[in-house]
Structure formats: structure tokens, C-alpha cells
Copies of this chain bind each other. A is one copy, B any other.
Amino acid sequence: VISAWAVSGLPEIVAGDDLAALILAAGARPAAGEIVVVAHKAIAKAEGRVRALADVVPSPRALELAAAGGRDPRLVQVVLDESAEVLRDGPAALICRTRHGFVTANAGVDASNAPGEDAVVLLPLDPDASARALRARLGAAGAGGDPPAAVLVTDSFGRAWRHGQCDIAIGCAGLAPLVDWRGRRDRSGRELAATWIALADEVAAAADLARDKVSAEPVVIVRGLGRHVTTDDGPGAAALIRPLAEDLFR
């Protein structure tokens, strides 16, 4: 049995907040084998990854992309600043590869739940590092020789051929991001050819089901997957990024 529940009672997160302390103060005590799933915005805000559009001067390229799409040129400039490459100019958003390598709408730059009328929230600079740092702080509050609770940092990503968004992992510490069944055999003894599970992304999706988008519930705890929680922080969500050379749809 797996289960997931949101941590209630967290305050609005602002720059400089100690997220681990706030989670513990809210009464959550992540145990060994559990996974603490944090919406990236809470991390980004605590890390000050917020920009005020009033301070942004759009480049000629931003002005051009903004005019073509009816967008705010200052927002487009922030998106360009966060992007390694713009893959598509879609009707709803620019589809970008971020500097981390994630392919997502507007490079993850988002105005909803931002602090202030004119602010946008960026993705954390290094979400795997953010996950590792939070894990270290939460784990120190635990006890025993078991691996401390894992940490995921998540964002809602759209999908190329499907409507709607699913939460996926952009940062990960202490959880195997991928589980490889390839080479193992099915019940008939035949090799499981294409069974390579994006475990961290499935956990991110499961956690999102336990959360309310409007109320302040950025943190969800998932229980029942202790067999995938590791003592080492592991390769992080970076391991989930398909290398450019394997990209059939860039």
C-alpha cells in the first residue's frame, strides 16, 4: 500500500525562509523510507528565485517573440534568460529547453502563486542541489541507521501529445529516479524489453493528487516506497533528462 498526504499549516514561503524548519514546525516528521515531495515554487521562493517584471528590459528578440504571440515582452525576456533554446513558439507558451535541460512551457517561468502583482517565479537554479540540501536538513532531525526520508522537487509539465499537465520531478535526493526492469524476465521467462520506470515522476504525480493547488500545500509526504529510498542521494532528477543526441522531437 502506498499513501500520500499534504502537510498543512505551512506559511506563505518568502525569500530566505528555512523550508526544513517550517516543515518540521508544521508538525511533519518525515520518517525513514518516506518521500517528502515539495512543489518547486516553495523552494524557488525560499531561494529568492523570483523576478520583478518591472526591472526587466526586453531584448529585440524578446520584443519580436512577444509581438508574434501577444505576450508581455518582459515575461518573454525572463523566459529567454532561463532558456538554453526555444524549441517551439506555441499558441499558449514558448516551449523551451531550460539551462538544466528540462523541456517545458516558458522555461518553467510562472506568474501564478507568485509573490506580488508584477513578480514571476523561476525554477530553482539547481533543483537536485536544493533537494539534497533539504534532505540533509530534514534527515538531521531524524534518528537511527535507516536512510533518511528522500526529497523530490516537482513542477507541473505539459506533454507534447496530451492535454493537461502532470507533476514530474525536477529535483531528487535519496530516491532512485529510474527503476530498470530491462533484462529481467516476465512470468513466461521473456525479457521485459521496454520497462524502465520513471519512478520519481510517478511519485511526483501521485503526490500532486494529495495537494490542493489553491491552498498552501506545497509539501506532500509519500509512504510505502521505502524499498526505493537510498542512503546516498543518488544521481538526482538530472538522470531523467534525455540527452540531446537522443532527442527525436527537438
A residues neighboring B (CB under 8 Å): 1-5, 12, 88, 90-93, 95, 97, 102-103, 105, 110-117, 156, 158-168, 177-178, 181, 184-188, 190-199, 201-203, 205-206, 208-210, 213-216, 224-225, 239-242, 246-249
Do residues A88 and B202 form an inter-chain contact, with CB atoms below 8 A?
A: no
Q: Would you call A208 and B202 a contact (CB within 8 A)? A: yes
Q: Which of A116, A191, A193, A216 has the most CB of B within 10 A?
A: A193
The 4 closest A-B pairs by CB, nearest first: A164-B198, A206-B206, A205-B205, A103-B161
Q: Are B198 and A214 neighbours in the complex by a CB distance under 8 Å?
A: no
A112 near B197: Cβ-Cβ < 8 Å: no
Min CB gap A175→B, angstroms? 11
Please indicate the chain B residues that have their CB under 8 angstroms from the CB of A88 in the complex. Answer: 248-249
Whether B197 pairs with A241 at a CB distance below 8 angstroms is no
A13 to chain B, nearest CB (A): 12
The answer on a CB contact under 8 Å between B206 and A91 is no
Known: A110-B194, A112-B195, A205-B202. A162 touches B240 (CB 8 A): yes
Tell me which of B163, B190, B196 contacts A196 (CB under 8 A).
B163
- Chain B residues with Cβ below 8 Å from A208 are 197, 202
- Contact assessment for A213 and B194 in the assembled complex, using a CB-CB cutoff below 8 Å: no
Given contacts A105-B194, A112-B191, A247-B160, contact A205 B201 (CB under 8 A): yes
User: In the bound complex, do residue A162 and residue B225 qualify as a contact, i.e. CB atoms below 8 Å apart?
Assistant: no
Is A164's CB under 8 angstroms from B201's CB? yes
Look across to chain B and name the residue whose beta carbon is closest to the beta carbon of A216.
B187
Given A114-B190, A181-B214, A186-B113: A196 and B91 within 8 A (CB)? no
Contact flag A166-B201 (CB < 8 Å), given A103-B161, A160-B247, A190-B117: yes
Q: Tell me which residues across on chain B come within 8 A of A246, comparing CB atoms.
A: 91
A2 x B210 contact (CB < 8 A): yes
